[in-house]
Amino acid sequence: MRDIVRSRKVPHIVVSTADYERLTDLATASAERLPEVANELLAEMERAKVVEAKAVPSDVVRMGATVTFEQDDGHTRRMTLVYPVDESIDEQRLSVMTPIGAALIGLGVGQSISWTARDGHRHQLKVLKVEAT
């Protein structure tokens, strides 16, 4: 799985030390139940630049941030990136343990990334705006 991630062009990402530790633990604990998403999130954490929370730029997607992004189908969505326990699509709270949530973590405004949906289809998104909480 990691070879596939490394072979595609991916943007540089930044995460805080706290997010790195908690997300790595979450992905590891979810490996048997959600192997594809867990492996993708672990791969994202492996390639991330890990910095102290105050050093994460304000325009970078972190846990709890609200992000506006454009999908390859032309739709724009505004979602808050949360841990699985706080997920609520009705309230626009997106779990980091979804394929699109794992793709968003650490991206900055203007960055794009390809991600694979659970149905196997590849998609692209672009971050338009990040609002920290």
Query: 67 phi and psi, to 5 degrees?
Result: -125, 135
In the chain, pLDDT over 90 holds for what percent of residues?
85
Average pLDDT over residues 15-40: 95
**Is-contact 24 16, C-beta < 8 A?**
no
Spatial separation of the C-alpha atoms in residues 73 and 105, rounded to whole Å? 21
Spatial separation of the C-alpha atoms in residues 33 and 10, rounded to whole Å? 26
State the pLDDT confidence band at 2, using cuts at 50, 70 and 90: very low
* Beta strands at 93-95 and 112-116: parallel, antiparallel or unpaired: unpaired
What domains can you pick out in the chain, each with its CATH number?
Answer: 2-131 (3.10.50.30)
Is the pLDDT reported for residue 26 higher than 80? yes
State the pLDDT confidence band at 11, using cuts at 50, 70 and 90: confident
